[in-house]
């Protein structure tokens, strides 16, 4: 298996209500020739994305070779850990964007370390426009040749891709699926057809109108036998798109009152079809990986109040303000602590995690402070 670093690529796509016509014109007329500056610039080394690998897998189910763009988190060398996996559709366009967004959100403490697996088409001279219209659509329509291959593509992900990734990387069963446009349609299709295969779903600008809104049929079939939908689902659309059709689907989902469904949606201001990815993926990852915020009793919070020694000269202090704790640093910076468990806290918007430690008698002895540059233990001194 090849494991080469992945070169940077810049591309974009769109699928609007007139996207079917545009797709057909592109297929018939061909793409404009790409412009490239001649000369020595073409012979320079490519920029590579750090911590990435290029893998290949051939699907017996689909009869197609796929390229996998894999990004490993910075703490992957810790062999005691396993990691959630984000499966990203249309990696040929969106892998560089997704890895950049992940890095930002990880640094700010919004998402954990995750393995990103970007899926795109391999083989000789693949045509992503035609192949995505084949694999990401659940039903065939005459206007798009070979469309309707989503059932096989979903089987490939379930029966071939996920086991392959599990055999090659230290991953767990916490899985996220993320896509846009036709990828958003496929993400919803997977939600209703293989519920439980993924726990988190992020999608933007879904092609809800495909085949006379066929996605409603899959949702209706699911609802006929299920009152629960255990998933965290984020959906976004641009305000220059079909916001009416999007809101109609959102209202329909809400009317089901599915138990276990955590749903958040956004209409993005001054945004078109392709532009929803940057903000939509960002807000989506923040939502689906959102940590709980517990309200702890005053007696529990009181255990943690006091001073904690950083070194011989410096201390930080934990105080209570209303119903939460505040960590005050030596330079008088005030960081609000949000409770994830009774003894574990985090700071929103920063990579700062606090875990209070106790001795056998239950007395608080200090705090484990985990920051981006590494962990440290601060002894409680009063």
| Dihedral (Cα; 202, 207, 209, 214), 10-degree rounding | -60
Topology of the domain covering 19-34+43-288: Rossmann fold (3.40.50)
Lowest mean pLDDT, pick from 6-10, 126-130, 145-149, 255-259: 6-10
Question: How far is 131 from 256, CA to CA, in rounded Å?
Answer: 34
Residues 97-154: pLDDT tens digits? 999 999 999 999 999 999 999 999 999 999 999 999 999 999 999 999 999 999 999 9
Question: How far is 83 from 103, CA to CA, in rounded Å?
Answer: 15
Question: How far is 358 from 375, CA to CA, in rounded Å?
Answer: 17
Highest mean pLDDT among 16-20, 39-43, 47-51, 88-92: 88-92
307 pLDDT more than 70: yes
Find the helix or strand (DSSP H, E) in which 223 lies: helix 215-223
Q: Which of 284, 335, 342 is nearest to 308 (CA)?
A: 335
| 91 vs 44, more confident | 91
Q: Which of 53, 87, 47 is nearest to 72 (CA)?
A: 53
38 pLDDT more than 90: no
Residues 61-96: pLDDT tens digits? 999 999 999 999 999 999 999 999 999 999 999 999
Instruction: Give start-end residues of each CATH 2.40.128 domain in the chain.
Output: 298-380
Instruction: Give start-end residues of each CATH 3.40.50.1820 domain in the chain.
Output: 19-34+43-288
Note the CATH number of domain 298-380: 2.40.128
Please list the alpha-helical segments (H only) found in 19-161. 19-29, 91-107, 128-135, 150-156
């Amino acid at each position: 298996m090849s494991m080469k670093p992945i070169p940077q690529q810049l591309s974009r796509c769109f699928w609007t209500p007139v996207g079917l016509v545009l797709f057909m014109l592109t297929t018939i007329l061909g793409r404009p020739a790409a412009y490239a500056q001649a000369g020595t610039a073409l012979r320079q080394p490519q920029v590579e994305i750090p911590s990435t690998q290029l893998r290949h897998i051939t699907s017996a189910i689909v009869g197609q070779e796929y390229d996998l763009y894999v990004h490993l988190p910075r703490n992957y060398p810790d062999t005691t850990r396993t990691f959630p996996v984000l499966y990203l559709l249309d990696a040929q366009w969106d892998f560089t964007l997704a890895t950049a967004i992940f890095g930002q959100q990880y640094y700010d403490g919004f998402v954990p370390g995750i393995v990103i697996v970007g899926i795109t088409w391999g083989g000789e001279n693949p045509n992503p426009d035609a192949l995505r219209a084949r694999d990401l659509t659940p039903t065939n329509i005459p206007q798009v040749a070979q469309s309707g291959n989503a059932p096989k593509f979903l089987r490939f992900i379930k029966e071939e891709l996920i086991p392959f990734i599990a055999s090659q990387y230290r991953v767990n069963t916490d899985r996220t699926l993320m896509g846009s446009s036709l990828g958003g349609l496929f993400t919803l299709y997977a939600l209703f057809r293989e519920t439980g295969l993924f726990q988190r779903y992020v999608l933007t600008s879904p092609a809800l109108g495909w085949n006379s809104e066929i996605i409603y049929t899959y949702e209706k079939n699911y609802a006929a036998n299920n009152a629960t939908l255990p998933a965290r689902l984020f959906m976004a659309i641009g305000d220059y798109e079909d916001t009416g059709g999007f809101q109609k689907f959102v209202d329909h989902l809400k009317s089901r009152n599915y138990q276990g469904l955590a749903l958040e949606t956004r209409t993005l201001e001054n945004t078109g079809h392709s532009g929803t990815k940057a903000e939509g993926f960002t807000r989506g990852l923040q939502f689906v990986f959102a940590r709980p915020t517990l309200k702890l009793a005053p007696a529990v919070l009181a255990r943690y109040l006091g001073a904690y020694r950083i070194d011989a000269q410096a201390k930080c202090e934990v105080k209570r303000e209303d119903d939460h704790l505040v960590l005050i640093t030596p330079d008088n910076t005030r960081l609000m602590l949000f409770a994830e468990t009774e003894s574990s806290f985090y700071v929103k918007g920063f990579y700062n995690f606090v875990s209070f430690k106790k001795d056998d008698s239950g007395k608080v002895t200090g705090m484990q402070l985990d920051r981006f540059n590494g962990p440290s233990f601060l002894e409680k001194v009063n």
